[in-house]
Structure 1
Amino acid sequence: MKYIKTLFILALIGGTLGVAALAGIYFYIKPDLPSVTVLKDVRLQTPMRIYTYDGKLISQYGVKRRIPVKLEDVPEKLIQAVIATEDSRFYEHYGIDPIGVARAAVNLVLTGEKQQGASTLTMQLARGFFLTRDKTFIRKIKEIFIAIHMEQVLTKDEILELYLNRVELGHRAFGFGAAAQVYYGKNLKELSLAQIATIAGLPQAPSVLNPVSRPERSVERRRIVLLRMLDEEFITQAEFNEAASQPVTARKHGAEIDLDAPYLADLIYNEMVEIYGKEEAETGGYQVYATAPADTQLAAQEAVIRNLHDYDERHGYRGPITWLWGKPEADEDDEPVEVSENAPTDENKLWTPDEIKQALDAIPHFHPLVPAVVTQVFDPPTPESELEPSITVTDLNGVERVIEWEGLDWARPYITDSRQGDDPKTASDIVTPGAVIYIRLQEDKWRIAQIPTVSGALVALNPHNGAVQAVVGGYSFYQSQFNRATQAKRQVGSNIKPFIYSAAIESGYTLASVINDAPINQWDASTGVAWRPQNSPAEYDGPIRMRVALGKSKNVVSVRLMRGVGLQKAREHIAKFGFQLDEVPNDETVSLGSGSHTPLEVVRGMSVLANGGYLVTPHFIDRVLNEQGESLWQATPKWACNPCTEEGEQSRDGEEQNLEAMLEAQLNADAGLGGAVQLSEAGSKVKPSAPQVISSQNAFLVADMMRTGVRANGSWNKKTYWMGTGWRARNILQRDDLAGKTGTTNDARDTWFSGFHRDIIATAWVGFDDMNRNLGRATRNQNLINRNPEKFNWLGNAMIGGEDGAKAAQPTWIRFMQHMLDGVPEEPMAIPDGVVRVRIDRTTGKLTRRTDHTTLFEYFAQGTEPKVYVLDDEIVDPAQDEENTAPTPEDIF
């Protein structure tokens, strides 16, 4: 009893001293202990995710990859794996595990090393949020106190959910939701038991146990996790055996992108950074929705890429990228041929698939291009053979493909932008075995390809509210991040003319006004040089009605109209369309498009003509949500209407117009619209109105002139036939509710096409980034003409002659609009109040009493229609004029 009493007293003293010591330590470090109550409302650093309007993920920004998950959405097997491996008594202890602490203490005494930390899930979470990984006693003590406090503030499930979302798991993945995506490209519920065990084993040492960089170590760790689950009876022996025998299937995955649209994503990212700052934008978990739908954006990207390849192919093939073997002997006049650095020194050595893949991996490539090496070239034994030349290639992925002659015959040699070599007759005229080339898939057939040296852009708007429907800034963002749609200020050429004609209408001209289409020769005494603006081509029709002049894009008429309006007045009128006045040239060249503007600025200006005279503001972001999906911000655009109410027929400066189609996109979701929607006294929804910068009558008249610019006009038989410069639009799209304008600058350095349907407007541009380089000319490729007997196939590479807006830029617009208008019923432009239609003489623009082919109906703003009738001796009948013959196909094309 004496000894027991002594031991009891000593134990009591020791316990008291221990408690006192702990209390002392607690009060000593208390000032340094954080308040864990912040974990109640903790905000995990989550990357910004950018979606299309309809919810397709297009990009993710942020150093840390995190996909927050709710505990109820986590597979039970994953929870069991984590608990079994990291803290089997998690639901039993109060933040620290006495058994684990005792085990760690014994290990420390026996080894003298801090090998086991005895950290519970709660302690790991405390360290992750508030402490470092330093192995010190003071850090461990702080960790214990914080963990105890956390257990008092949070429930076990809340702690576990935070842990599952917070823990670092390698490759910038934080939390198990991100790890499932990074390593397997799946969400948690799609993981197998083997995959669950693999990522559940990562918290101990993410870099050392990583299944991507250390697959052998990850297999060992996976087995340990599975054994712990088996010990805890979370899995059966059969499940263990199956999972433990599975191969490593992890590989690094990028963000779960539904649509790769980097030019659009980059615009939105920069706007978010400007608003929130870089760190907050990248870590705040924002879900940003673009105004562009996925299918529209994809159609724009495909249209730009296809058109740039078409241009590039009709100007010739620049040859293979390099050679892996079979280096051809260079002609005396040729540049030395380069051979891949990976080529074996012995050219007779056969390349293995791995060596080919390694060499092709080093070749830069951008969608839709695929690097490949030519392994066989087949040419028919005789010219009379029914067999066509072809080549066999092995691509980057080791797949063997056959490129038929149809995918080769375009590849005549490139000499300059305006000169091409002879058409190839055999496949060996183009490539030899060992050549490294690009191939691409077009209309389900593979063809030889090359990276286009030319650049292009397209931007499309909803003309009613400025919502950007698509934006493409070049061939590939990964080749050049310069966004030509929003950053490249290029001379606009004839795309300026609709604004000049609008100024003329405001100054009293009408669509029937006759202007002299004749050469201008004006001496400038200050420079000693004569200014001689010319039509392109240099053909002149004499007196011509304004409608025809715009449709044919007559340069000298544009100059004369600008002079009639007055230079300063014309500049101020152009500025109404959203252009900066100081960027509008202060000389007469402004009428020919010498000003430089971005495609986005041009399409905004054109939208005024499409929507009835309203200047809308382009915007790329429709709405911003937080990481919980709650609305933070909703775009509140100004609309092209006045007043802007949802119900029925609307009034716009006295005209009747139905806004149902215009409002449909935004009115689908009433929640989260912020101040965008207000209720009138009658209960209808009211939108803010955009400023009306020109009258609806002016906008309609210019737009209607632009309609004749995209079609054939008059009668072939009556010799009144003429074609607008953008005639291909009507020929291909086969609809009459379109309007547009081509644009070509001097020497074709910049080519444009802007056009619209009532609900969509788009501008396309093509040119070289080097502004001193023009687009050149293309000669006839007989191979393509033989393959396609239609001599002038607008989409083929058989187009010949100099490049211009109709050949180089318009095909992008047409392909895009083919998608946009598919299934959309034709709907003519609404005629606003204050516009009348009268019959006029085709030649003089005066009123007429005749009803034959010498007359036509024309639109006028009410009060501006002609008052004088044409005299009999003024009437010209082209059909009776033997010298005036209808144009032949050669004249037109």
Structure 2
Amino acid sequence: MKYIKPLILFSFLSGLLGFAALVGIYFYIKPDLPSVTVLKDVRLQTPMQIYTKDGKLISQYGVKRRIPVKLEEVPKQLVDAIIATEDSRFYEHHGIDPIGIVRAAVSLVLTGEKRQGASTLTMQLARGFFLSREKTYIRKVKEIFIALHMEQELSKQEILELYLNKIELGHRSFGFGAASQVYYGKPLTELSLAQIATIAGLPKAPSVLNPISGPERSVERRRVVLLRMLDENYITRAQFDEAASAPVTARKHGAEIEVDAPYLADVIYSEMVETYGKEEAETGGYQVYATATSELQLAAQRAVIRNLHDYDERHGYKGALGYLWNIPKSESKDEKIPILSLSFDVSNRTERAMWDDTSLISVLEEIPYIKPLVPSVVKVVNEKSIEVLTVNGETRTIEWDGLDWARRYITDFRQGNDPDTAADVTREGAVIYIREQDGEWRIAQIPEVSGAFIALNPKNGAVEAVVGGYSFYQSQFNRATQAKRQVGSNIKPFVYSAAINSGYTLASIINDAPINQWNAATGVAWRPQNSPAEYDGPIRMRKALGKSKNVVSVRLLRGVGLRETANYLTRFGFNKEDIPLDETVSLGSSSHTPLEVARGMSVIANGGYLVNPHFISEVLDENGEQLWQANPVWACHRCEEEDDTSTSQPLDEDDIEALLAAQFNEDAGTVDLTNDVEEKTIAPQVISAQNAFLVAEMMRTGVRANGNWNKKTYWLGTGWRARNILQRTDIAGKTGTTNDSRDTWFSGFHKDIVATAWVGFDNMSRQLGRATRNQNLINKDPEKFNWIGNALIGTEDGAKAAGPAWIRFMEYALADKPYSPLPVPEDIVRVRIDRTSGKLTNRTDHTTLFEYFLQGTEPTVYVRDNDVVDPAEQDETTTPESEEIF
């Protein structure tokens, strides 16, 4: 007993001293311990995801990849695997595992190394949220205290759910939801047992045990996890054997992008960063929904890409990227791929026999892969076809229909002879691009020409589609929203609107005759010309806009007044600083973005209201709760019935200028994401509904054939192909071409959608040139060769270069829409007039037509019988085939 009492006393004092030491340590490190109460309302760093309006994922932004999951959404096998491997007594301890701590202490004493951490799931979670991975005693002590506190504040289920979403698992994935996507490209619920065991083994050392960086170590770790599951009776021996022997199926996956629309995503990302800041935008878990639907966005992208390739093919083939064998004599023998720097060794490989498919693919993998172009090498050249090996290891045959366009490019104005055989186009050993079109493969090249496209809902300014160029991965410059280019004749509808506002009518007669004005100050005469330089003499205003008569536009500007016209253009949202104060403004010398042009066209399409373009429909938080939704201004035709404070009358000049300065600045695409949703707001009416309708009527003339061929009253609007292809009369449009065809435009609308297409070179000094006749293409469809596509010939202009993109988009966008013309506003009357003079007439033959007028402006004088001009009796004729359309 004399030894027992001292021993008991010693043990008591030791325990007391140990407890005191523990309390002392706690109070020593307490100031450095974080409050775990924040875990009650934890906000995980989750990337921002951007969706189309119909819920298709466009893009994801954020360094950390995280897909939060609820515990009930996690497969039971994954939970079993984690608990069996990381903390088998998770449901028994209170944050720390004494048995594990003793085991780790024994290991430390026996080996002198910190081999075992004894960390429970709770301790790992504490480290993940509040500490580092540094292996120090003080960190371990802090980890223990935080874990104990966490167990007091949170339930086991809450701790487990946080662990599943927080833990780092390699390749920037955080949480098991993200790991499942990164390594296998599918949700947790679709993983096999082998895949579950693989990601369950990652927490120990995610950088070296993941199946991408270390597949062999990953297999070993997977076996350990499966053994632990077997020991804990979570799986059977048969399940173990099957999963342990399963092959490694992991590969790196990005976000599960459903719609590749990078220009749209980039605009939205920029707005979110501007509003919330880069870090918050990328980690706040925002779910942002665009105003654009996936169908219209993809339709716009297809239209732009096809249109740029059509232009490119019209102007000829620039040749292969280089040659691996069978090198032309004109090429350098020292460099097998002249324009590329390859890491693959191609030295001494000058013969075909030296190349197998594996080495060919190794070269192709270094060629830029810009969708829809596929890097390929020509293996066989037949008389009317070629066989190629693609970078994907596939063998493709390109028939003559995919080669016959490829005459040699000489300049933007000259092309070589039409090819007769495949050998006239390419040779074996050539490294080329190919692309698929209408189910067939074609030889291709990266277009040097650029394009842009924007589509809006004219009722509220919601962007339906935006394309900023051929490929975002080639150039991130968004030409639809950022590029200010001269608009050419796209400005004319707005000039004509100013004329109507000043008392002109659609039947007003303007002299289409040359202008020769001497400028004494410069000593130079200004001679604006029509394009082509043909003049019709006295012409009705409707027909002048439909045929895009330059000199008529100048005369109308003079009739309204230069300053008055310039001020009037700001009604459509154009920045006053971009409008030059000289008469060239009537011909489109001002520079605007496609977005600004489309916005201006929306005023004409919606009855006179200035809407504000916006790209974002709504923003949700990480829990799917709505934070913000768009509250755009709306076009309204009977505002006085819906809102007593609104007006159906256009604003005056001072009101419009103040409005533009305060609300509709040049950054029209930016919206304030901090505002709460308000009730529907009526857009300001900047021109009258009657004015908008009359301009739209003139623009309808511009996209169709008019008159009667047999009676010699036939004439074509500059955008006549639109009516021929779309086969509908409820559309309106306007072409636009600048001097020397440096910028080409086509803008137009249906009452439900407005769209603008632009084509030009980024190098503003480069002209779009001219395409000569390619008989190979004409022979395919002689009747339609000059309607749309790569068979168009002549000088490039708005109708040929930009028009096809607009037509192809509208062909899709309007496919299911019934015929729906613009409604005729009140105070619009329709009377029969003489086709030549614009005066009233009692005749009902081909020399007359019906015309719309604002009530009170219709003609009051009748044409005299001896003044009637009957075109059918004239000698001069003009055939539609010979008319060059601009």
Q: State the TM-score, normalizing by the size of structure 2.
A: 0.95
Q: Does 1:198 align with 2:198?
A: yes
Who is 2:568 aligned against?
A: 573
8 A Cα contact 2:532 2:884, kept in partner: no
CA distance in 2, matches of 1:564, 1:466: 32
CA distance in 1, matches of 2:788, 2:689: 36
Who is 1:660 aligned against?
A: none
Who is 2:357 aligned against?
A: 353
Say if 1:475 and 1:205 are closer, same or farther in 2 by CA, change over 3 A.
Answer: same
Q: Does 1:362 align with 2:363?
A: no
CA distance in 1, matches of 2:168, 2:358: 35
| Letter matched to residue 381 of structure 2 | V
8 A Cα contact 1:177 1:187, kept in partner: yes
Superposed, 1:201-600 pairs within 5 Å as: 201-330=201-330, 338=338, 341=342, 342=344, 343-348=346-351, 349-379=353-383, 389-600=384-595
Moved more, 780-789 or 309-318: 780-789
| Letter matched to residue 356 of structure 1 | L
Who is 2:722 aligned against?
A: 729
Render the CA deviation track for 1:364-395: whole Å, top value 9, x for unaligned: 0211110000000011xxxxxxxxx1000000
Shift, 1:134, TM fit: 1.2
Who is 1:383 aligned against?
A: none
Who is 1:843 aligned against?
A: 836
Who is 1:666 aligned against?
A: none
How many residues are paired up? 855
| Letter matched to residue 25 of structure 2 | I
Superposed, 1:777-792 pairs within 5 Å as: 777-790=770-783, 792=785
Who is 1:668 aligned against?
A: none
8 A Cα contact 2:324 2:336, kept in partner: no
| Letter matched to residue 401 of structure 1 | R
Say if 1:33 and 1:251 are closer, same or farther in 2 by CA, change over 3 A.
Answer: same
Who is 1:708 aligned against?
A: 701
CA distance in 2, matches of 1:9, 1:888: 116
Who is 1:87 aligned against?
A: 87
Say if 1:585 and 1:140 are closer, same or farther in 2 by CA, change over 3 A.
Answer: same
Gaps of 5+ in 2: 651-672
Structure 2 SS opposite 1:573: helix
Q: Does 1:636 align with 2:636?
A: no
Shift, 1:595, TM fit: 0.3
8 A Cα contact 2:459 2:634, kept in partner: yes
8 A Cα contact 1:60 1:255, kept in partner: yes
| Letter matched to residue 884 of structure 1 | E
CA distance in 2, matches of 1:192, 1:643: 61
Who is 2:826 aligned against?
A: 833
| Letter matched to residue 836 of structure 1 | V
Say if 1:859 and 1:676 are closer, same or farther in 2 by CA, change over 3 A.
Answer: farther
8 A Cα contact 2:648 2:685, kept in partner: no
8 A Cα contact 1:465 1:617, kept in partner: yes
Shift, 1:359, TM fit: 0.7
8 A Cα contact 2:733 2:747, kept in partner: yes
8 A Cα contact 1:68 1:165, kept in partner: yes
| Letter matched to residue 360 of structure 1 | L
Who is 1:98 aligned against?
A: 98
Structure 1 SS opposite 2:633: coil
| Letter matched to residue 745 of structure 1 | T
CA distance in 2, matches of 1:236, 1:276: 51
Shift, 1:404, TM fit: 0.3
8 A Cα contact 1:642 1:652, kept in partner: no
Shift, 1:891, TM fit: 3.6
Who is 1:178 aligned against?
A: 178
Render the CA deviation track for 1:691-746: whole Å, top value 9, x for unaligned: 00000000000000000000001111111000100000100000000000000000
Structure 1 SS opposite 2:682: coil
CA distance in 1, matches of 2:349, 2:436: 34
Shift, 1:654, TM fit: 9.7
Q: Does 1:744 align with 2:748?
A: no
- Give the root-mean-square deviation of aligned CA atoms: 1.9
Who is 1:887 aligned against?
A: 879
| Letter matched to residue 722 of structure 1 | W
Structure 2 SS opposite 1:419: coil
Who is 2:653 aligned against?
A: none
Shift, 1:653, TM fit: 3.7
Render the CA deviation track for 1:397-438: whole Å, top value 9, x for unaligned: 100010001100100010100000111111111111111100
CA distance in 2, matches of 1:170, 1:352: 36
| Letter matched to residue 813 of structure 1 | W
Structure 1 SS opposite 2:812: helix
| Letter matched to residue 758 of structure 1 | K
Who is 1:2 aligned against?
A: 2
Shift, 1:6, TM fit: 2.8
CA distance in 1, matches of 2:337, 2:61: 42
Who is 1:772 aligned against?
A: 765
Say if 1:853 and 1:652 are closer, same or farther in 2 by CA, change over 3 A.
Answer: farther
Superposed, 1:793-804 pairs within 5 Å as: 793-804=786-797
8 A Cα contact 1:454 1:769, kept in partner: yes
CA distance in 2, matches of 1:888, 1:572: 38
Identity fraction in percent: 73
CA distance in 2, matches of 1:795, 1:869: 42
8 A Cα contact 2:649 2:688, kept in partner: no
Shift, 1:5, TM fit: 2.7
| Letter matched to residue 872 of structure 2 | A
Who is 2:664 aligned against?
A: none
8 A Cα contact 1:457 1:472, kept in partner: yes
Render the CA deviation track for 1:585-609: whole Å, top value 9, x for unaligned: 1100000000000000000001000
8 A Cα contact 2:789 2:804, kept in partner: no
CA distance in 1, matches of 2:258, 2:713: 52
Structure 1 SS opposite 2:209: coil
Who is 2:657 aligned against?
A: none
CA distance in 2, matches of 1:467, 1:604: 10
Structure 2 SS opposite 1:560: helix
8 A Cα contact 1:324 1:339, kept in partner: no
Match of 2:816 among 820, 823, 826: 823
Who is 1:76 aligned against?
A: 76
Say if 1:787 and 1:159 are closer, same or farther in 2 by CA, change over 3 A.
Answer: same
Who is 2:658 aligned against?
A: none
Shift, 1:783, TM fit: 1.1
Shift, 1:759, TM fit: 0.3
Structure 2 SS opposite 1:440: strand
CA distance in 2, matches of 1:48, 1:301: 24
Render the CA deviation track for 1:321-368: whole Å, top value 9, x for unaligned: 111222121189xx9973874324132343222211211110002111
Match of 1:864 among 857, 864, 874: 857
8 A Cα contact 1:403 1:446, kept in partner: yes
Shift, 1:2, TM fit: 3.1
Who is 1:65 aligned against?
A: 65
Q: State the TM-score, normalizing by the size of structure 1.
A: 0.94
8 A Cα contact 1:636 1:673, kept in partner: no
CA distance in 2, matches of 1:425, 1:646: 69
Who is 2:665 aligned against?
A: none
